[in-house]
C-alpha cells in the first residue's frame, strides 16, 4: 500500500511539473507576441508617415536646432536634480517610518533590547563622521 501511495505522489508531482512548464511557456509566448505586435504597429506607423511632411517632422526639425537642444538638455538636468531630491526625501521618510515600526516590534519582542543609536531617517550620525 505504501508503494502505491508513493507512486500516486510521484504522478501528482510530475503533473505539477508539466503544468508549471506549460504555464512558463505560455508566459513566454505572450511576451513574445506582445513584442511582435508592438513591432508590427510601429512599422505600420512608420510606413504610413514615410515621405510625408507631418507635424512630427516639423517638431523634429525644431528640436534639432542647437538652441532648443541646449534648453531641453538644461530642463532634463534640472528635472533630474529635482526628482533625485524628492526621491531622497521620500526614501528618508519611508526609512524613518519603517524604523519606528521595527523599533516598536523589537520592543514588544525583547523589552531589554538596547538601541544602536542610528538616526531614524537612516542618515549618518554627525558624531561618526571623520
For the stretch 70-118, pLDDT in tens is 999 999 999 999 999 999 999 999 988 888 887 788 778 887 777 666 7
Q: Which residue has the cell 515621405?
A: 51
Is pLDDT of 1 > 60?
no
Cα dist from 59 to 39, 55, 65, 75, whole Å: 23, 6, 10, 17
The x, y and z cell numbers of residue 73, run together, are 538638455
Which position has the higher pLDDT, 31 or 12? 31
Residues whose CB falls within 8 Å of the CB of residue 122, separated by 6 or more in sequence, listed in order: 91, 92, 95, 96, 99
pLDDT of residue 6: 66
End-to-end CA gap in the chain:
72
Q: Is 77 exposed, middle or buried (0-12, 13-18, 19+ CB in 10 A)?
A: exposed
Distance CA 118, CA 75 (A): 37
Full-model pTM: 0.45
Distance CA 123, CA 29 (A): 46
What's the rounded mean pLDDT across residues 10-36? Answer: 90
- With a pLDDT cut of 90, the percent of the chain lying above it is 37
Mean pLDDT of the chain: 84
User: In angstroms, how far apart are the furthest CA atoms of the chain?
Assistant: 84
Amino acid at each position: 500500500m505504501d508503494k502505491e501511495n508513493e507512486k500516486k505522489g510521484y504522478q501528482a508531482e510530475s503533473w505539477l511539473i508539466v503544468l508549471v512548464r506549460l504555464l512558463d511557456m505560455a508566459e513566454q509566448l505572450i511576451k513574445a507576441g506582445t513584442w511582435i505586435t508592438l513591432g508590427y504597429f510601429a512599422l505600420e506607423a512608420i510606413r504610413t508617415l514615410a515621405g510625408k511632411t507631418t507635424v512630427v517632422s516639423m517638431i523634429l526639425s525644431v528640436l534639432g536646432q542647437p538652441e532648443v537642444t541646449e534648453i531641453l538638455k538644461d530642463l532634463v538636468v534640472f528635472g533630474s536634480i529635482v526628482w533625485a531630491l524628492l526621491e531622497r526625501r521620500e526614501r528618508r521618510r519611508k526609512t524613518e517610518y519603517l524604523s519606528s515600526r521595527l523599533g516598536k516590534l523589537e520592543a514588544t519582542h525583547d523589552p531589554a533590547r538596547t538601541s544602536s543609536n542610528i538616526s531614524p531617517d537612516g542618515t549618518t550620525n554627525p558624531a561618526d563622521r571623520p
